[in-house]
Amino acid sequence: QPWRRFVLIFTIANNMLRLHYFDRSGLIISRPTNILKNPVRLLEVLNTLTLAHPNNLGYDPTMHMCDPTCKGSHADLRENAVGWIESHDKSHLSIMSVLWRSQGFFSRGTICYRVQTSDGTEYALKDCWVAEDKKNHEVTVLKMVEGIPNVVKLVADWDVLYDGESDCTYRIRASHGVCASGFIRRFHRRLLLTPCGEPLVLYSLKLELLRAFHNFVTAHELMLGRHVLHGDLSPNNFIIHDGQGYFIDFDHARIIAEGAVSVPSEGTVKDLQLS
């Protein structure tokens, strides 16, 4: 899997064994155990790691990436699929490729997949861990800009469920009673979007690129008319589909208050550079 729900790492230093638990909200380190004084504890750890169900090692049961042993053996997937991911109706969407994944474990951990339904309809699927106070922010913004040409369209959004409940970094921590002050709950969310295009840098002709920029300027003005400032104009946040440019990624979008003419800056501070 491109990412896991959480990662467990064991370290031994000066004969002291520690467990390090990482998820999107941060890190927890266990109290140390001396493996010379308590060798059974070390055996228990090795035993647990070896026999644990993959779910208990952080694997996400709502998706699957194929390996050489299973590739091509899934009757419900599209040809050339590299895996599947659960949709909001529990059906399997075929993963055709991983479009983009964020670096580092903390924070959103965004991954974008190119997916297809069983009838071949293609979408972009965004998988991310969103802070509780921004849980529905991107969805709210996408609904505000719905219908504007050259802006990616939201098809569906949902909480990823684990054991029948919304998957959240709080669930594991609460069971150990270790939610420190400043802890931010992050919810595992998925957004299904259309169209699924190519990165801006893969433009085929300069004319196509110029046309895409014209699309962006027009769409940006229309979004401002609906009190939405995209706020993160970096090359990663534009795609080209069928010769048209589209805005994507509204994580950093700002909603401009009625009557206001500016919002505090946020997002990627980078010039768009063309080479």
Applying CB under 5 A, among 7, 17, 66, 139 the residue interacting with Zn ion is: 66
Q: How buried is residue 45: exposed, middle or buried, by Cβ count under 10 Å (0-12/13-18/19+)?
A: middle
Q: How many residues bind Zn ion (CB under 5 A)?
A: 2
> Which residue's CB is nearer to Zn ion, number 75 or number 269?
75
> Which residue's CB is nearer to Zn ion, number 11 or number 55?
55
Q: How far is the CB of 4 from Zn ion (least distance, A)?
A: 17
> Which residue's CB is nearer to Zn ion, number 92 or number 252?
92
> Which residue's CB is nearer to Zn ion, number 21 or number 84?
84
> Which residue's CB is nearer to Zn ion, number 4 or number 135?
4
Q: How far is the CB of 87 from Zn ion (least distance, A)?
A: 17
Which listed range, 64-72, 165-173, 194-202, 227-235, lies at the site for Zn ion (CB under 5 A)? Answer: 64-72
Applying CB under 5 A, among 16, 29, 52, 70 the residue interacting with Zn ion is: 70
Q: Is 82 in the site for Zn ion (CB under 5 A)?
A: no
Contact 252, 267 (CB under 8 A): yes
Contact 216, 238 (CB under 8 A): yes
Binding track, positions 14-53, relative to Zn ion; x by CB under 5 A: ----------------------------------------
Q: How far is the CB of 113 from Zn ion (least distance, A)?
A: 15
Which listed range, 34-42, 58-66, 171-179, 191-199, lies at the site for Zn ion (CB under 5 A)? Answer: 58-66
Q: How far is the CB of 139 from Zn ion (least distance, A)?
A: 30
Nearest alpha-carbon partner for 3 in 103, 87, 74:
103
Note the residues at the interface with Zn ion (CB under 5 A).
66, 70
